């Protein structure tokens, strides 16, 4: 079944708002966030522009909702990765760091949208809630994988961990690092970096 057919089916079940965000992902992944338009997403979702405008007032509102979805998904992914690693007895810090980087590799449009200040309404309540959700995970011992004396503030260790994974993710999807390499090779590079970091931040 094609993605467009799936979106139409979702729409007929009353999920047009979510279908439009799926269309943002598809368009942004191919052409970049700048190329996304509300009309283009409506067309991809198989509905009229007027239907789309009933959910999102303009492109900025649409991208804001998309960014909020991205932040929330990454926060959930980090937490579930930490929990799974604790249950399995594997390295939770490594699991969370790799989950962050894999999220960027698998969903670059999501990753780019999260802090897309010039293209979103950063004071939108839903966006703020999603951003706070991710920040809270990161400053709570990097999703409970590092010692944490103050969950309301970032420690140096937490900032170093976040900077490292976010920086490498950015270099892998938009920069000159490992551009010609396969995903597995990029993930191995990420794992090697995190293993080197761990003793310095424990």
pTM of the model: 0.88
**Residue that wins the pLDDT comparison between 86 and 2:** 86
Name the burial class of residue 69, with classes exposed (0-12), middle (13-18) and buried (19+) by CB atoms within 10 angstroms of its CB: buried
pLDDT over 50 at 2, yes or no = no
pLDDT in tens, 47-82: 988 989 889 999 999 999 999 999 999 999 999 999
pLDDT of residue 10: 45
pLDDT of residue 5: 46
Would you tell me how many other CB atoms lie within 10 Å of the CB of residue 8?
A: 16
Average pLDDT of the residues in 40-48: 92
User: What pLDDT does residue 202 have?
Assistant: 75
- List, in order of start, the domains of the chain with CATH numbers: 3-53 (1.10.10), 68-201 (1.10.357.10)
* Distance of alpha carbon 134 from alpha carbon 69, whole angstroms: 11
pLDDT at 39: 94
Contact 124, 68 (CB under 8 A): yes
At 198, is the pLDDT very low, low, confident or very high (cuts 50, 70, 90)? confident
Query: Quick one: which of 33, 42, 37 has its CA closest to 7?
Result: 42
Burial class (CB in 10 A: 0-12, 13-18, 19+), 143: buried
pLDDT class for 14, splitting at 50, 70, 90?
A: low
Query: What's the pLDDT score for residue 11?
Result: 44
- The pLDDT tens digits of the residues spanning 146-178 come to 999 898 899 999 999 999 999 999 999 998 998
Average pLDDT over the chain, rounded to an integer: 91
């Amino acid at each position: 079944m094609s993605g467009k057919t799936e979106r139409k089916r979702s729409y007929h079940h009353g999920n047009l708002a979510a279908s439009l965000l799926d269309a943002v992902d598809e368009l942004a992944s191919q052409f970049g966030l700048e190329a996304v338009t509300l009309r283009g997403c409506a067309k991809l979702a198989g509905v009229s522009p007027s239907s789309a405008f009933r959910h999102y007032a303009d492109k900025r509102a649409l991208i804001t909702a998309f960014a909020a979805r991205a932040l929330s998904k990454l926060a959930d992914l980090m937490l579930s990765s930490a929990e799974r690693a604790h249950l399995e007895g594997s390295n939770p810090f490594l699991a969370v760091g790799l989950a962050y980087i894999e999220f960027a590799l698998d969903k670059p449009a999501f990753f780019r949208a999260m802090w897309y200040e010039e293209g979103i309404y950063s004071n939108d309540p839903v966006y703020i809630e999603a951003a706070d959700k991710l920040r809270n995970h990161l400053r709570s011992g990097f999703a409970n994988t590092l010692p944490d004396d103050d969950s309301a503030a970032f420690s140096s260790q937490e900032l170093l961990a976040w900077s490292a994974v976010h920086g490498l993710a950015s270099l892998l999807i938009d920069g000159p690092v490992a551009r010609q390499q396969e995903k597995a090779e990029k993930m191995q590079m990420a794992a090697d970096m995190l293993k080197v970091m761990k003793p310095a931040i424990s």
